[in-house]
Structure 1
Amino acid sequence: MQELTSKVKNKAKDLIALIGYEADPIVTFRDSVIFVNVEIDSPGLLIGKGGEGLDALQHILRTMLGREMAEERMALVIDISGYRDKKVESTKKFAREKALMVITTGIPEELPAMSSFERRAVHMVVANIADVETESIGEGRERRVVIKPKSAKPK
């Protein structure tokens, strides 16, 4: 694992340097996921609108590490200056609010399109709320989550 940590850190550092930034990425592992955290002074340009730049960086880094990632069967998440953590926390709060609306009204709520990382957070937070369930619909960049009243179990 130490060898993979070193490879991920060096590739991430090289990628950030190619874009013109200097950073010392921090690499951690949790639940078969490699997390790469990068702190920089002006993160906005790298993060991009709605995190699109960050998603692109993650895709490029994943491609750069392709073989190593496949052999270890690990997923990769890159975060810049805590953007993803903040986004996931606000997404969880939003999902809880929508779940309570569904419980109150009985009407399903379709959330806006979001990244797989955010959709996973929604599924996980709603799974802990009684009387509601989630379903992903759509494809590609338009994939989103629907929070709906829990289906009655057949007796």
Structure 2
Amino acid sequence: METLPFRMQAHVENARAVAEWLDADDRIEFVNWAGLPGHPHHARAAKYLPLGPGSVFSFGVAGGRGVGQRFIESVNLASHLANIGDAKTLVIHPASTTHAQLSEQQLLAAGVLPGLVRISVGIEDVDDIIDDLDRALAAAVRGE
């Protein structure tokens, strides 16, 4: 408990940097993080969460389900886990894991787009997190 404020500050600062980086990347279709000015709830998040809207958000990898799944399989620093809030960065591709039993129509109805990735940004060095995501995106897009 003694270190919680410092850890949360690191989580949110890292999430901001990662979300901004993803938002500027052509391999990413969208970023759902309320801290970004283009998010529909940005003003509300700024009002009620002035330090930042947390470190768990989703983004869409361009290219669909296969690219999203390859992205998850290509991370090295981040862990492929369904839980959230760890000190480590965690990623998951819901369409091929937690929601894999659903049909394509059910996935879309639930808001689980083919390339959707959920990330829980950890407190590692933010440059290392971004480097890992960049390498994984490059491998996923190349089809490795």
TM-score by length of 1: 0.25
1 or 2, which has the higher helix percentage? 1
1 or 2, which has the higher strand percentage? 1
TM-score by length of 2: 0.26
